[in-house]
Amino acid sequence: MPESLNSALQRAESEKPVTEGLEREMRMEEKWAGWGSALASAMFLWAVVRQYFSTIFGDSLGAYAAKLVALVYPYIEITFFEYTGERLKRSEAYAAVESYLAASGSTHARRLKADNDREDSGSALVLSMDDHEEVTDTFSGAKLYWSSQIIHSKSPSFSFYPSQPDRRYYRLSFHRRHRDLIAKSYLRHVLDEGKIIGLKNRRRRLYTNNSTYDSYDYRKRGWSHVPFEHPANFDTIAMDAEKKREIMEDLIAFSRGKEFYLRIGKPWKRGYLLHGPPGTGKSTMIAAMANLLDYDVYDLELTAVKNNSALRKLLLEISSKSIIVIEDIDCSIDLSGKRKKESQKSEEEKKLGGEENTDSKVTLSGLLNFIDGLWSACGGERLVVFTTNFVEKLDPALIRRGRMDRHIELSYCDFQVFRVLARNYLGIENHTLFDEIRCLIEERNITPADVAENLMPKKITEVAGSVEVCLRSLIQDLLASKLKSAKGGDEMMETPAAAEENYGDDKEKESASSST
């Protein structure tokens, strides 16, 4: 049925506010479009005039014009380029601004880009402002305008040379009356906040220095990395409870010690020497440290470092909040400062070490400089951890207090350590077989790694059903070792005194055989 005139009029009346609103919006849009095109025309005209006059009058006109513009245009602009000059490393300021804007911008910006393949985020999904997007920020009453910009490369489509990458940058604009506030406080605030946000969002990494040094490809010169995913933590480390508590307190105090280190005039870093027989948990402890402090791990393979200056370069690429690890430091380098002669190397060393070993010219003094020379202060908040099975073989200069601030011995299993492992692996606090194990474990030397091996249930889905089997397997091992030592031929486990002696002897034999 056709609509009556009256009802049509009534409907039109009721919709009036809506259509009025729409009209108002359209008028505004037209107005904005008008402003936009006027601005674009003005900029185009300005570019033409500048081009024309500068060819006639030279650059001086440009300088005068800039002064003139500054008089009428009261805004100051600061740009943060992603890569500057010849630097191949991403600008830290740019990264901080990006994180800062991603946090505030993701709630304000209308166009965001998502990226899960970024260098500094592992595979975590990162949201950031899309190109040519703008957001505003306020700080102590000042209004600030941020925009993300991109300069597309002008490489010709047909060229023998690799095309130049696009250049991204952020631009900050603000009224010139806020110049002091921005320079003195706002920029610091953005960089600090951005750094904190970036660190929080980042996925931790395990780095290793590449042995394949390539002077043409900068990406192959320094560190390569994988996500750090070791699950060890201080709850699962089996060691004396008091000692464990002390270490944890020391680490936490260090990580909160920025002001303290500044006050005493020392670089913010700390050295740990972890020593003890193989299988006592040195590597596990490093992973637990990294997880406790939320640090990255840089596993430094000294034999793959060409010389002292290459070592210094590696140092400069290490970020803060990191643990630099040199495992088995006694085997990594000839600490007398002289390179081993070819004849002194074992067959295995010659085969495995190949080129890199023979090429490594890192000296003891180079290493000492790496740990606490002037360059070592760059970056801050770093732990340096050495591990060794033979602490007595290390040069005293390398491990003196102040350089290696804490010496931590990880040793054989006692009953307390066994109980921690039994809790971790089998979920038990007590058992009727514990008394027997206590007697055996206290007269034998067995490493936590060996105990752990015995306590590992055959079927990890049926731990409860495996408890007795595992404990009996450990008792068997301890008894077998006791029997062996009674017969005089001890291999795996020894009495504590014999172990001390054999430990050094074995190493002597090893090095003698390798030098022949």
Ligand X SMILES: Nc1ncnc2c1ncn2[C@@H]1O[C@H](COP(=O)(O)OP(=O)(O)OP(=O)(O)O)[C@@H](O)[C@H]1O
Residues that bind ligand X (CB under 6 A): 236-239, 278-284, 389, 448-449, 452
Closest separation between CB of residue 244 and ligand X, Å? 9
Instruction: Output 135 or 471, the one with its CB closest to ligand X.
Output: 471
How far is it, in rounded angstroms, from Cα 161 to Cα 286? 45
Closest separation between CB of residue 238 and ligand X, Å? 4
Contact 250, 384 (CB under 8 A): no
Mapped onto helix, strand or coil, the DSSP state of residue 114 is strand
Q: Residue 176 gets which letter from DSSP?
A: G
Closest separation between CB of residue 424 and ligand X, Å? 7
Instruction: Output 389 or 502, the one with its CB closest to ligand X.
Output: 389
How far is it, in rounded angstroms, from Cα 239 to Cα 259? 32
Instruction: Output 112 or 248, the one with its CB closest to ligand X.
Output: 248
Instruction: Output 210 or 283, the one with its CB closest to ligand X.
Output: 283
Angle among Cα 291, 295, 298 to the nearest 5 degrees reads 110
How far is it, in rounded angstroms, from Cα 262 to Cα 267? 7
Closest separation between CB of residue 360 and ligand X, Å? 21
Closest separation between CB of residue 239 and ligand X, Å? 5
Closest separation between CB of residue 284 and ligand X, Å? 3
Q: Which residue is nearest to ligand X (CB)?
A: 281
* CB contact burial 46-76 (16+ within 10 A = b; e otherwise): eeeeeeeeeeeeeeebeeeeeeeeeeeeeeb
Instruction: Output 129 or 239, the one with its CB closest to ligand X.
Output: 239
Q: Residue 336 gets which letter from DSSP?
A: T
Instruction: Output 202 or 275, the one with its CB closest to ligand X.
Output: 275
Instruction: Output 172 or 239, the one with its CB closest to ligand X.
Output: 239
Instruction: Output 194 or 279, the one with its CB closest to ligand X.
Output: 279
- The DSSP secondary structure of 463-507, one letter per residue, reads HHHHHHHHHHHHHHHHHHHHHHHHHT---S-B-HHHHHHHHHHHH
Closest separation between CB of residue 297 and ligand X, Å? 13
Residues facing 224 on adjacent strands: 208
Residue type, 400: R
How many other CB atoms are found less than 10 A from the CB of residue 102?
20
How far is it, in rounded angstroms, from Cα 119 to Cα 438? 50
Contact 463, 427 (CB under 8 A): yes
Closest separation between CB of residue 136 and ligand X, Å? 52
